[in-house]
Amino acid sequence: MLYDWNTILDVWSPTARHTGASADQLARAESRLGVSLPASYREFLEATNGCLTVGHFVDELWPVESIDWFQKLNPQWVEAYTGPHL
């Protein structure tokens, strides 16, 4: 175990936690994304499958079912930075 996420989350966001992601949910996400999630992120998702209102600038940390590649979730941003420019 890299971090004691339950203790960290009890202090950081005690009322905004979700039930942890299952091994099956994590395996499906890794298969869908085509990568292995970093160990610390897997442990976080096992402790809480996302969080709500984690700070002044972060409204939500997504559950495992919602994570995806930036370019898929934000194609307009990718186009703005890689598309034709005047």
Q: Which residues of 5-33 are buried (b: 16+ CB within 10 A; e: fewer)?
A: beeebeeebeeebeebbeeebbeebeeee
Q: Model pTM? A: 0.71
For position 35, what pLDDT does the model report? 97
> Who's near 20: CB < 8 A, 6+ residues apart?
45, 46, 47, 48, 49
- 27-85 pLDDT, tens per residue? 999 999 999 999 989 988 988 888 776 667 767 788 999 999 999 999 998 888 887 76
Which whole-number Å values give the CA distances from 17 to 4, 29, 56, 71, in the listed order? Answer: 15, 20, 16, 27
How many Cα atoms within 13 Å fall on the side-chain side of residue 66?
8
